[in-house]
Structure formats: C-alpha cells, structure tokens
Amino acid sequence: MRIATWNVNSLKVRLERVQDWLLYAQPDVLCLQETKIADKDFPFLSFLEMGYESVHHGTGRYNGVAILSRVGLKDVQVGFPSHIINDDDEYKTSIQECRIISANCAGIEVSSIYVPNGRSISSQHYQAKLAWLKTLHDYINDSFSAQDQIAICGDFNIAPQDKDVWDPALFIGATHVSEPERQALQNLQNWGLHDGFRKCYSQENLFSWWDYRAGNFHKHHGMRIDLILLSNNLIEKVNFSLIDRNQRKGKLPSDHAPVFVDIQL
C-alpha cells in the first residue's frame, strides 16, 4: 500500500502534473492540499478515468483538500465533525475552513490535512493555527482508537526538528519551528501517530517544500513540513518512503514535492 501526500498549490495549474505523477508513482492513495478550487470544479471524472475515486472539500481561491484512492473510499468525513468544534471557540471560523477531509481506504483511516500557516508568532493567525491543531487532536482522539489503522497526511506547516530546516538560526522566533507547534505535533505522537518518513531516514536537510523566491530550491533552502503520520500498527510495516523532489523541478512546479510511504500490509 503506497500512501502519498502533495500540496499542489492550485489543482487547475497542476492537474496534468498530478496525472503524470499518478501514472509514474502509482500511489494507492493520494492526499492533496491547496487545490484552490470549488467542489463543482474538482476533476472527479478525470481521476475516475485513471482508476481513482476521489472526494474533495473546497470552496475555491483558498485551501481545499482531497483524497484520491484506487483501493476504495468510504465513510467520508468532510471537515471536522461539528460536535468537535466549540460554538464559542474564538477561532471557529478558521477551524471550519476547508482544511481536512477523511475517509476509510482499504481499512485505513486516511485524513488529508492542510494546517494553517500561522504567518507570524505575534499574529492571530498563529493562535488560530494552534487552535486548529488542538481540534485535530480532539478529532483523532474522539474518532479513532489506537487499534485502528490511521494515516494523517498533509501539509502540517511544522518542521518537526531543526534538522528539517535548512538554516534553523534563521527561523528563531518564526512559525513552523516554534515550541508550541512542535508540542502539538508531539501530542499527536504521544497519542500514537508517528512520522512515516523518519522510519526510513535520519539524515538532515531532506525537504518537501522550498519557497519559490530567491532560487531557494536550487540553493537547497527548504523545510520538511509535509508529513505522513501513521499509527503503531502501520509504522511497523513501513518498508520505504520518499520525497519525490523531481516534482519540484521543471515547468510550473508546486512549491511542495509529493511524499509517500510504502506499507507492507
């Protein structure tokens, strides 16, 4: 079972690239983020033609998440369940943005998530990011048990460790590396969800995102913020993982590369 995740930064611009990659990488499940299109414009039929069922949660312009699967797709949950969200939550609006969709694919509980960026530590957007991450934890804790097979895939907008950042000194006091964000990730790990990529690699400077600006990709200035978190019963069966950085190259790339894990079921 190959499970992949890719922030495509507009599916309209990236559709042909995504289709090419499906043929090339042959994932069984592909989670997409930042589709930036509305449900009515999502190319369900194009993916179905290629053997992939799909579900999408988006309103256009911002955000937008999807799951594609060629091994089945059922029990779809669009957004967070309403009972997880507090009516008086200060950040309710952010929590209800199109940033999560979940489904059961061949017995695995798959979520495609796009964690808020946070912009800067001093901003309300950062507080909304922390609130969103808390809601994610609540959702997982409420919906799943440690015995379930779970894959939480997506753009976390968090670099788990300093070795996941090209120059940690530059990011002191910045989002993506702050202690509260990393603690939120640690809380998921404590719950029983583990970084699939790190099962296979311990090296530093292996990135999944590079800013479009200043030739950062060519200078190897990136971060690893696209993660696949797996339950214990899946992480022990991981036998391969890869960030396909070739997809950051060439004409019209996303600023993120796809990441996948292979699980020997």
Partner DNA sequence: ATGGTTGAGAATCAA
Q: Which residues bind DNA (CB under 7 A)?
A: 9-10, 12-13, 36, 60-62, 116-117, 119, 125, 212-214, 252
Q: Are 175 and 126 in contact (CB under 8 A)?
A: yes
Q: How far is the CB of 104 from DNA (least distance, A)?
A: 28
Cα–Cα distance measured from residue 60 to residue 176, given in angstroms and rounded to the nearest whole number: 25
Q: Which is nearer to DNA, 47 or 144 (CB)?
A: 47
Cα–Cα distance measured from residue 81 to residue 10, given in angstroms and rounded to the nearest whole number: 26
Q: Which is nearer to DNA, 69 or 175 (CB)?
A: 175
What b/e sequence results for 174-213 when a residue is b if at least 16 CB atoms lie within 10 Å of its CB, and e otherwise? ebbbbeebbebbebbeeebbbbbbbbeeeeeebbbbbeee
Q: Which is nearer to DNA, 126 or 144 (CB)?
A: 126
Q: How far is the CB of 246 from DNA (least distance, A)?
A: 17
Output DSSP code: residue 172.
Answer: T
Cα–Cα distance measured from residue 15 to residue 128, given in angstroms and rounded to the nearest whole number: 30
3-state helix, strand, coil in the chain (%, to 5): 30, 25, 40
Q: Longest C-alpha distance within the chain, in Å?
A: 47
Q: Which is nearer to DNA, 116 or 192 (CB)?
A: 116
Q: How far is the CB of 116 from DNA (least distance, A)?
A: 6
Instruction: Compute CA distances 256 → 6, 9, 207, 234, whole Å.
Output: 7, 8, 9, 25
Q: How far is the CB of 147 from DNA (least distance, A)?
A: 35
Distance between terminal CA atoms of the chain? 7
Q: Which is nearer to DNA, 13 or 48 (CB)?
A: 13
Q: Which is nearer to DNA, 171 or 191 (CB)?
A: 171
Helix, coil or strand: residue 169:
helix
Q: How far is the CB of 63 from DNA (least distance, A)?
A: 7
Q: How far is the CB of 92 from DNA (least distance, A)?
A: 17
Q: Which is nearer to DNA, 116 or 222 (CB)?
A: 116
Q: How far is the CB of 146 from DNA (least distance, A)?
A: 32
Report the sign of the C-alpha dihedral through residues 9, 11, 13, 17, in that order.
Answer: positive
